[in-house]
Structure 1
Amino acid sequence: MDTSESSTEHPVEDPAPAGPPRRGRRRWAMDTRPLRRPAYRRLWASTVVTAVGSQLTAVAVPKQIYDITGSSAWVGYAGLAGLLPLVVFALWGGAVADSMDRRRLLLITNSGIAVTSVLFWLQAATGLDSVGVLMVLLAVQQAFFGLNAPARSASVARLVPEHELAAANALGSTVMQTGLVAGPLLAGALIPVVGLPELYLIDALALCVAVGAVLRLPSLPPLAGTAARRAGVREIVAGFRYIALHKVLLLSFLADIVAMVLGMPRALFPQLAAETYAPYGEGLALGLLFAAIPVGAVAGGLFSGTFSRARRHGWMVIGAVVAWGVAVTGFGLSASLWIAVAFLAAAGVADMVSMVFRGAILLSAATDEMRGRMQGVFTVVVAGGPRLADVLHGTAGSAFGARTAVVGGGVLVVAVMLALAAAVPDLRRYRV
């Protein structure tokens, strides 16, 4: 590994016996070596049960707001109400995760999210019908999520050895992407059967299971020799300074910003479904467009054994972002719905590869005392990038047409990523 950019310590809390070498189909199927480690398996299992449950709430909140107001604008305002606390508390949560036992922080935040889910259920079950209450609960829930996400991601590096980080990220990302597909489908099927309040209750029960799994994790305090600190503004600023001084970290964030801000075309899906793909049926086209990227990402995760052992993590990120841009460009040029969906699915595969190796770089190229803050910034970038893309692509689609905006964004992704890779060699050189 490039020692100038990485931590020299990588303690693993939970060693596991070596398994037999992978042969045949097992070489390209998902690499499950991290699941041999009981502690990581518990953390991953808690993600499995909450991935779908959280999506039930993600569907229920906008549905309830629309039922109360009859206005899509209020649904949009709810998204903004959740974004600000997510950004603020993710940045602060990263500093908190670097200053206290991460297992304890996971217990506190998972419990807080569970309580808010119970409150969501109570307000729906009692017929309160208050948009203000929903907005407040959503803001509180996203604040707890912002505190939770950095600690959860940073903990992975203490539970698996460095050479398994990519595989561990593939396992976690695949579960989350599967939740993005299965959760909304399950919500759509359950609402007519059990009703809206019960979706919140199912999420709350899933979170209780997650709390039980986290209880069985080993203690994850700051490493010996790490100075105790407050989790304040100074520590948050120190995290940004650390990123600026480590070019491989900075470029890993820029790679995601380039791909998501310039190349995420989801804001144009309704327009494309109504105009370009209307002959296929607007509803069918819209559903397929929104599902294609997550389905491709899940497929990439299931076959992550084909790439998760790569050691040149920097080149894998560069190649994945360029592939994303090429696939988005192909999508924009496609007049056939099925070809368009295929290109979006390919973009989903590229996004999975990018997520796996960007996550591995953030965990391996930062010291343990900085990992929480790196994951806090990562959470903000992942949450904010697509929202900025919605504004950019929506504006460009109105001005130049949807397909032109998509193609232009895809071409820009390829050009900017290649220019960054050529101008700054640190990411190209980074390997484990």
Structure 2
Amino acid sequence: MRSLLIDITPLRTSPAFRRFFIGRAVSGIGGQLTVLAVMYQVWEATHSPLWSGSVAIAELVPMLVVGLWGGSIADRADRRSILLATNVTQLVLALLLMTQALWLGTSASSLGPVLVLVALMAATGAVATPASLGLIPRLLPADQVAAGLALNRLGFQGAVLLGPALGGLVIGYAGLEIAYALDAASFAAGFLGVVGLPALAPVTRTGGGGVLDGLRFAATQPVVRGVLLVDLAATVLAMPVSLFPLVNEERFGGDPRTLGLFLTAIAVGGVAASLVSGSFTRRSRPGVITIGAAAVWGLALGLVGVVTSPWLCLALLAVAGAADSVSVVTRGTLVQLAVPDDLRGRTAAIEMIVGAGGPEVGNLRGGAVAQLTSGSFALVSGGIACLLALAAIGATSRPMLTFRTR
């Protein structure tokens, strides 16, 4: 039974990973405080769903522009130094968000400064993320990388569950500026988690450090290419989030309490999968698990388009969330172990861009199909298309399926 539970060996055996994990988990909670604070501030300043949506654009565009460059930096420079610099930068940006909240509050004049600071925060994160994703294989032996990624995933999901709820209480009782101040303090914790790490310059230089080298590698290395295609099949073809309000209206009478449970159900499933991640991180064939988990994701979401019971719908969303967590961890394991150290930063940047852009395109696809047909048809057709695409990927990606971690 213990072999099914999350493997905490990396926390016990690696003090460096333990410090990094704690700092990252704390800063993740702080980041969610800011996500909610920005959402609240923009809405109160404009009462416009269009302006609320502009926050996502302010985050996505800098990440797409800076992401590949950030990956190239991670493959040329010391990753510990990159993370120290980005933590300090994010701390300063959080303090600037706090300052503008003190001076401008939720007035319309706060809109510009908030969006600019959010964009700068996203750009800084696009430099930090490739460096942090390439760090775990340097801190842990190969047979513990999957467990380390599962722990990181659990920390992220815990932040997503706890951060918004805590943020609502902080904003309600203490104000926006305190939420931003707590985020700044969380980046200080992240800095402390990084400062004790060893120097982490790239071990080898098997190629150039340019962006095009990373793109060429991702397109031609069969394991990495297969991983990216699985991610795109799951997100572009079956992403359900934009359909939730419509499905809630069609099936459940538009009750806002039901709508609020849709995303919660996915998150609960993800946390549950992380808590029993030993059941898949201890397996030696992550490629097979990746395809299988993505197929469960597509199947569960397709069935959401068929069922009429609210509770069964939520149960299927929880299954989808669990499958997504399994797939994220096993995809990350494949990328980290199949990529040379001097290409990990650029490959992680490409993975980050695919992971952010795929869901946006998928939500647009789902909304367009639903506009022409119905929410149910969009979900069912998306699930079927996802399964067909995964079958094609599995048939043409043998190196990914046969890849072994031990």
- TM-score of Structure 1 vs Structure 2, range by shorter chain: over 0.9
Rounded Cα–Cα distance in structure 2 between residues aligned with 1:257 and 1:208? 35
- The answer for the alignment partner of 1:73 in structure 2 is 50
3-state secondary structure, aligned to 2:135: helix
Stretch of structure 1 that moved more, 178-187 or 366-375: 178-187
Q: Percent of counterpart pairs with the same letter?
A: 36
Alignment-mate amino acid for residue 110 of structure 1: N
- The answer for the alignment partner of 1:141 in structure 2 is 121
- The answer for the alignment partner of 2:256 in structure 1 is 283
Please say if 1:121 is aligned against 2:123.
no
Q: Tell whether the 8 Å contact from 2:223 to 2:397 is kept in structure 1 after alignment.
A: no
Q: TM-score scaled by structure 2?
A: 0.96
Please say if 1:296 is aligned against 2:281.
no
| 1:353 to 1:268, Cα distance in 2 relative to 1, 3 A | same
- Aligned-pair CA distance for 1:227: 7.2
- The answer for the alignment partner of 2:140 in structure 1 is 160
Stretch of structure 1 that moved more, 45-54 or 360-369: 45-54
Rounded Cα–Cα distance in structure 1 between residues aligned with 2:175 and 2:213? 47
Question: What do residues 63-83 of structure 1 show as CA deviations (whole Å, max 9, x unaligned)?
Answer: 111111111101112211211
Aligned with 2:5 (options 29, 39, 52): 29
Alignment-mate amino acid for residue 100 of structure 1: A
Rounded Cα–Cα distance in structure 1 between residues aligned with 2:242 and 2:353? 19
Q: Structure 1, unaligned stretches of length 5 or more?
A: 1-24
Q: Tell whether the 8 Å contact from 2:21 to 2:193 is kept in structure 1 after alignment.
A: no
Please say if 1:226 is aligned against 2:216.
no
Rounded Cα–Cα distance in structure 1 between residues aligned with 2:66 and 2:267? 26
Question: What do residues 124-163 of structure 1 show as CA deviations (whole Å, max 9, x unaligned)?
Answer: 0112642111111011000000000000010001000111
Aligned with 1:330 (options 303, 307, 311): 303
Stretch of structure 1 that moved more, 139-148 or 186-195: 186-195
Q: Tell whether the 8 Å contact from 1:178 to 1:295 is kept in structure 2 after alignment.
A: no
Pairwise CA RMSD: 1.4
Rounded Cα–Cα distance in structure 2 between residues aligned with 1:101 and 1:423? 37
Q: Tell whether the 8 Å contact from 2:43 to 2:51 is kept in structure 1 after alignment.
A: yes
Question: What do residues 205-242 of structure 1 show as CA deviations (whole Å, max 9, x unaligned)?
Answer: 1111110111011111121x53796x6xxx11100111
3-state secondary structure, aligned to 1:217: coil
Stretch of structure 1 that moved more, 198-207 or 187-196: 187-196
Rounded Cα–Cα distance in structure 1 between residues aligned with 2:206 and 2:355? 30
Please say if 1:424 is aligned against 2:400.
no
- The answer for the alignment partner of 1:209 in structure 2 is 189
3-state secondary structure, aligned to 2:281: coil
Please say if 1:247 is aligned against 2:222.
yes
Please say if 1:320 is aligned against 2:293.
yes
Rounded Cα–Cα distance in structure 1 between residues aligned with 2:234 and 2:315? 18
- Aligned-pair CA distance for 1:380: 0.7
Aligned with 1:106 (options 74, 79, 83): 83
- Aligned-pair CA distance for 1:412: 0.9
Question: What do residues 291-338 of structure 1 show as CA deviations (whole Å, max 9, x unaligned)?
Answer: 111111111001111111110111011111111111111211121111
Question: What do residues 15-66 of structure 1 show as CA deviations (whole Å, max 9, x unaligned)?
Answer: xxxxxxxxxx321111011112011111111111012111111111121111
3-state secondary structure, aligned to 2:134: helix
- Aligned-pair CA distance for 1:198: 1.2
Alignment-mate amino acid for residue 150 of structure 1: P
Q: Tell whether the 8 Å contact from 1:269 to 1:286 is kept in structure 2 after alignment.
A: yes
- Aligned-pair CA distance for 1:424: 3.1
Count of residues in Structure 1 that have an aligned counterpart in Structure 2 = 401
Q: Tell whether the 8 Å contact from 1:270 to 1:286 is kept in structure 2 after alignment.
A: yes
Q: Tell whether the 8 Å contact from 1:99 to 1:228 is kept in structure 2 after alignment.
A: no
Q: Tell whether the 8 Å contact from 2:24 to 2:193 is kept in structure 1 after alignment.
A: no
Rounded Cα–Cα distance in structure 2 between residues aligned with 1:228 and 1:240? 13
Aligned with 2:367 (options 394, 408, 422): 394
Q: 4+ residue runs of structure 1 moved beyond 4 angstroms?
A: none
Rounded Cα–Cα distance in structure 2 between residues aligned with 1:290 and 1:170? 20
- Aligned-pair CA distance for 1:189: 2.5
Structure 2 counterparts to residues 1-16 of structure 1, below 5 A = none
Aligned with 1:96 (options 73, 94, 118): 73
Please say if 1:346 is aligned against 2:292.
no
- The answer for the alignment partner of 2:62 in structure 1 is 85
Q: Tell whether the 8 Å contact from 2:67 to 2:350 is kept in structure 1 after alignment.
A: yes
- Aligned-pair CA distance for 1:426: 2.0
Question: What do residues 148-183 of structure 1 show as CA deviations (whole Å, max 9, x unaligned)?
Answer: 000001000100011111111110011111211221
Alignment-mate amino acid for residue 204 of structure 1: A
Q: Tell whether the 8 Å contact from 1:251 to 1:427 is kept in structure 2 after alignment.
A: yes
Question: What do residues 385-429 of structure 1 show as CA deviations (whole Å, max 9, x unaligned)?
Answer: 111111111111111100110111111111110111113322222
Q: Tell whether the 8 Å contact from 2:93 to 2:121 is kept in structure 1 after alignment.
A: yes
- The answer for the alignment partner of 1:17 in structure 2 is none
- Aligned-pair CA distance for 1:102: 0.3
Alignment-mate amino acid for residue 320 of structure 1: A
